[in-house]
């Protein structure tokens, strides 16, 4: 085989693998769980731990959603680190207006973890008094029926149910781009991997039973890995408990975003994946729509029927259009099927997302630091692992 023939073969295989993976994961992500037998637990069975930092976390809509859960009987515990945090003032204002009562605020910061979020939620986890516990990121407008549906998935074998927080309601281009990244890519991959028995942490909503929480060692289980959601997932699996992803997709309004915030978050998450699952940082750009489009342009002229000059402008344009029609078409099918955000502006944003995967991976690999709320979580995580290793060595 000549060098040209080898290049064409490799390009053809790459396009088939990347596009096949794209299609299969979208189809798998549409498969839903069977409805659990029996009546879902009442709202009174749940403790909702809601960490907040800054006034942006205490939006009127989010506080109203927490009030609805509390009125239905759930125990709601709002965790804030400091008395002068704007979140404390805003949540007090909104909660008092809606209920005429003071909010269930827990204020203070623990020092048990390198992870600032774990230090914030620790007091909520220790105070929780119900049989089912939910740790919920700010902004998720989780309804009572959605909470109960998630709770119905918990049983003796299943210790953790994760819930996504896919953004919707985008009103600027940056917000649309974030929707394609979190919905069309992250949510799709999380749903698909769940269906084939692999688990990826998704953060947004973490629901577990008190029995499972105690079995894995309590709050400390949130700091085994660098990310608290991955830590909890790993701890559940190590304890012999199943983990799964709920089909519910609570409303998560994100109308306006900044490009710098989106870029920073994607780079931070890529660095987290490098620490937890390094191979994904290489596979994501390799199997991206942009790289597979280049492969299609390389292989197409040699393999497609000769009724058109595929190296001409018309031939190249036809290959590009056909390629993106497949990629965008299956993504639109998934978004519509799952009831996720969709608009015509998603079309160029999907192309942009697939094109940015390689630059994001390169930028992520160019550094190792991950700062979250001005805290060096990588350094803290490594120090914690070193201390644990030294204690283990001393014990031996």
List the domain boundaries for the chain.
8-27+274-372, 33-257
Cβ 304 vs Cβ 371: under 8 Å: no
d(CA 217, CA 228): 14
**What length is written for the chain?**
396
Instruction: Give the number of other CB atoms < 10 A from CB of residue 131.
Output: 15
Q: How far, in Å, CA of 52 to CA of 87, rounded?
A: 6
- Asked whether 167 and 254 are in contact (CB, 8 A), the reply is yes
Domain 33-257 fold is Spore Coat Polysaccharide Biosynthesis Protein SpsA; Chain A (3.90.550)
Using CA atoms of 296, 301, 303, 305 in order, give the dihedral in degrees to the nearest 10. Answer: 120
β pairing state of 158-163 and 205-209: antiparallel
CA distance linking residue 312 with residue 293, whole number of Å: 16
Query: How far is Cα 319 from Cα 301, in angstroms, rounded to an integer?
Result: 9
Q: 0.95 exceeded by the pTM?
A: no
Cα(254)–Cα(239) distance, integer angstroms:
36
- DSSP-H helix ranges across the chain: 3-29, 60-71, 86-99, 116-127, 144-151, 173-179, 188-195, 210-215, 228-238, 259-276, 278-286, 289-303, 313-338, 346-365, 377-395
pLDDT in tens, the chain (396 residues): 677 778 888 999 999 999 999 999 999 999 998 888 678 999 999 999 999 999 889 999 999 999 999 999 999 999 999 999 999 999 999 999 999 999 999 999 898 888 889 999 999 999 999 999 999 999 999 999 999 999 999 999 999 999 999 999 999 999 999 999 999 999 999 999 999 988 788 878 999 999 999 999 999 999 888 889 999 999 999 999 999 999 988 989 988 999 999 999 999 989 988 888 899 999 999 999 999 999 999 988 777 777 777 788 888 899 999 999 999 999 999 999 999 999 999 999 999 999 999 999 999 998 877 777 677 777 777 777 777 666 665 555
Residue 141, phi then psi, degrees to nearest 5: -90, 70
C-beta of residue 149 within 8 angstroms of C-beta of residue 248: yes
By CB atoms closer than 10 A (0-12, 13-18, 19+), residue 117 is: buried
């Amino acid at each position: 085989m000549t060098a040209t023939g080898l290049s064409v073969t490799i390009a053809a295989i790459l396009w088939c693998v990347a596009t096949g993976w794209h299609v299969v994961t979208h189809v798998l992500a549409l498969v839903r769980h069977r409805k659990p037998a029996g009546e879902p637990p009442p709202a009174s069975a749940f403790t909702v731990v809601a960490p907040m930092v800054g006034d942006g976390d205490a939006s009127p809509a989010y506080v109203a959603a927490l009030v609805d859960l509390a009125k239905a009987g759930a125990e709601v515990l709002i965790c804030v680190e400091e008395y002068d945090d704007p979140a404390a003032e805003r949540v007090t204002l909104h909660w008092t207006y809606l209920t005429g009562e003071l909010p269930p605020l827990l204020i203070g910061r623990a020092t048990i973890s390198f992870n600032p979020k774990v230090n914030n939620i620790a007091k909520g986890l220790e105070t929780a008094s119900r049989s089912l516990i939910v740790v919920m990121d700010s902004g998720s407008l989780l309804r009572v029926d959605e909470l109960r549906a998630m709770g119905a998935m918990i049983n003796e074998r299943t210790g953790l149910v994760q819930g996504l927080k896919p953004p919707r309601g985008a009103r600027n281009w940056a917000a649309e781009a974030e929707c394609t990244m979190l919905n069309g890519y992250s949510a799709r991959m999380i749903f698909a991997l769940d269906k084939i028995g692999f688990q990826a942490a998704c953060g947004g909503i973490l629901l577990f039973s008190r029995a499972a929480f105690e079995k894995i060692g309590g709050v400390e289980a949130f700091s085994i890995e660098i990310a608290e959601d991955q830590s909890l997932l790993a701890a559940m699996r190590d304890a012999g408990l199943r983990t799964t992803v709920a089909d519910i997709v609570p409303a998560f309004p994100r109308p306006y975003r900044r490009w710098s915030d989106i870029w920073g978050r994607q780079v931070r998450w890529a660095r987290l994946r490098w620490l937890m699952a390094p191979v994904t940082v290489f596979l994501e750009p390799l199997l991206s729509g942009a790289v597979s489009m280049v492969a299609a342009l390389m292989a197409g002229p040699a393999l497609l029927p000769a009724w058109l000059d595929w190296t001409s402008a018309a031939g190249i344009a036809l290959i590009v259009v056909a390629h993106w029609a497949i990629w965008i078409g299956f993504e639109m099918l998934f978004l519509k099927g799952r009831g996720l955000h969709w608009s015509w502006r998603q079309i160029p944003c999907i192309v942009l997302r697939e094109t940015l995967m390689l630059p994001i991976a390169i930028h992520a690999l160019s550094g190792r630091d991950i700062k979250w709320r001005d805290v060096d979580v990588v350094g803290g995580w490594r120090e914690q692992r070193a201390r644990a290793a030294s204690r283990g060595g001393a014990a031996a």
